[in-house]
Amino acid sequence: MTQSVESRERGARNPAGGWPSVPEGYRATEMYRAVSDACYVYRYRDLEHNLWKFGWRQARKRILRHGALSGEWENRGHGELRLRRRGLEVRLDDGTKRLIGWKELQEFVRARRY
Contacts of 53 (CB under 8 A, 6+ apart): 59
What gap in Å lies between CA 42 and CA 31, rounded to an integer? 16
Q: Give yes or no for residue 21 having a pLDDT over 50.
A: yes
Over the stretch 44-63, which tens digit does the pLDDT of each residue have? Answer: 999 999 999 999 999 999 99
pLDDT tens column, 56-111: 999 999 999 988 888 889 888 778 999 999 999 998 877 888 999 999 999 989 88
Rounded alpha-carbon distances, angstroms, from residue 57 to 7, 21, 104:
38, 21, 12
In the chain, domain spans: 45-114
Q: What is the pLDDT of residue 54?
A: 94
- DSSP annotation string for 26-66: --HHHHHHHHHHHHHHTGGGTHHHHHHHS-HHHHHHHHHTT
For the beta sheet containing 87-91, the strands, ordered from the edge strand earlier in sequence to the opposite edge, are: 74-75, 80-84, 87-91, 97-101
Interval 16-22 mean pLDDT? 54
Q: Which residue has the higher pLDDT, 99 or 12?
A: 99
For the chain, the straight-line distance linking the first and the last C-alpha, in angstroms and rounded, comes to 28
